Structure 1
């Protein structure tokens, strides 16, 4: 795996990459301790056989710069991410690419495909924010757990275990080692400070940007992947995406929550590889 620190006008963006072939950019979710490598490490052996996989850390996460209050007042985290990721890809000489995003990263992926449809060859969205319009109560159970994690008494392994339980269908497949690793990754002080700013900005804006309004602007053939039992970005909100995206298909996994790439790893890798091929 190669690691880059790419300079953009916003700040430094950390990018990891591995493999050769058509470029596949993978955007991670927004949970505590998330980063490109931590979210997709287990999928790299399969995907790098076919693709040059590029894993940016989105602004605020991993090794990338932390947006300030002023940044988040001017623009949403999705708008900031789209700007930063396009600049990073430009710096790496990447023009056209396949794009995959999960949750918060799914929102950025939708916005990138809407803003520059000429650059996104094919699009894979896993329970994406922004394009999803929930019919049930909000915030969802998973969103509440994400908010609680850094608030109150602050992060702990017990809170991380509770967070993971809401992210997946069967938490027993993720042992204490997974909880501990994710907990330790969440303790960076600059990331914690960013998370408080990020949550406050979400509250001021009323949640994610409403990208569902412009789903018709997506030109790329699109694969939606969703866990039937997702308690964070719930399946009921997918109907609008199925109606408004021109070339779209949906694969639903029973007995699966928000982390499709982990819970149904082999099927996820086969579906993504087949669709992009």
Structure 2
């Protein structure tokens, strides 16, 4: 996307220190918020809409961000929701947690704190919450600790709440861990990473590989990723959110690719047993990126499920 011009006028009051820019794509208008928190600045993209607020949290792969994770779905979903797409700490345009930060708290705990502050600054009270992979872990943790704020929860192959039967790290997790190691990032390694994330990599051509590769080259993101991987190893994986799944009170929809090689399907059983109000849809011939591999069906399930909660 080209550089974003500063907005001349804003349709709502702007909190002190909160900066907004705007841009228009061929399908949707994006407003870019820069929201200060006590942890650091959080970048939030907004797609305006008249419906309830839907906060969408991205995964943790190299070069990931809110918009890149869900760009393909925004035109359809913005017909029903006001969409907020935060860049989680360490990713996109948000601040980078330090080694000391990651020693003190997990990336999931950091994200929940930053997200709560950013949403407060944006004047968001109750909202629907959606997350996949790393963002799914943050969504679970937020729904466990801020139960009065989450009106509907959609989880796509979320970390933390999943309890795998097979060995870990999984094939997809190994690809993520090695991407910035062994000579650093390359288009070839990005292509290998994407092949592991999806069922049919032919859906994602060289232009997609190149764009995601270029998004992964920010030096501060690379430095953070090394710290993030080291912290992940020290903690022996993600927070064991599965222990408190019963604390989720929001109606919950699980979306999973049957052929996911990163957060594997069999680990979902504990979520089906422990989340009080839960339903699930499994997509055959689909990997870890449900929102891209099966975009139309993903959009329909999210819209129908959350729409019925209104």
Pick the TM interval, shorter chain: over 0.9
RMSD: 0.3
Tell me if the contact between 1:19 and 1:50 (Cα under 8 Å) persists in the aligned partners: no
**Does 1:58 pair with 2:88?**
yes
**Does 1:6 pair with 2:35?**
yes
Of the three residues 218, 232, 237, the one matched with 2:267 is 237
CA offset digits 1:100-136 (Å, max 9, x no partner): 0000000000000000110000000000000000001
- Structure in which a larger fraction of residues adopt helix: 1
Tell me if the contact between 1:82 and 1:112 (Cα under 8 Å) persists in the aligned partners: yes
Q: Normalized against structure 2, the TM-score is what?
A: 0.89
CA–CA distance in structure 2, aligned partners of residues 40 and 251 of structure 1: 19
Partner SS for 2:32: strand
Unpaired runs of 5+ residues, structure 1, are none
Of the three residues 83, 96, 113, the one matched with 2:126 is 96
CA–CA distance in structure 1, aligned partners of residues 93 and 48 of structure 2: 21
CA–CA distance in structure 1, aligned partners of residues 259 and 241 of structure 2: 23
Unpaired runs of 5+ residues, structure 2, are 1-29
| Large movers: runs of 4+ above 6 Å | none
CA–CA distance in structure 1, aligned partners of residues 167 and 160 of structure 2: 16
Q: Normalized against structure 1, the TM-score is what?
A: 1.00
CA offset digits 1:42-64 (Å, max 9, x no partner): 10000000000000000000000
Of the three residues 159, 180, 184, the one matched with 2:189 is 159
CA offset digits 1:222-243 (Å, max 9, x no partner): 0000000000000000000000
Tell me if the contact between 1:114 and 1:218 (Cα under 8 Å) persists in the aligned partners: yes
Per the TM alignment, residue 137 of structure 1 is displaced from its structure 2 partner at its CA by: 1.0
After TM superposition, the structure 1 = structure 2 runs for residues 1-277 of structure 1, keeping only pairs within 5 Å, are 1-20=30-49, 21-277=51-307
Partner SS for 1:127: strand
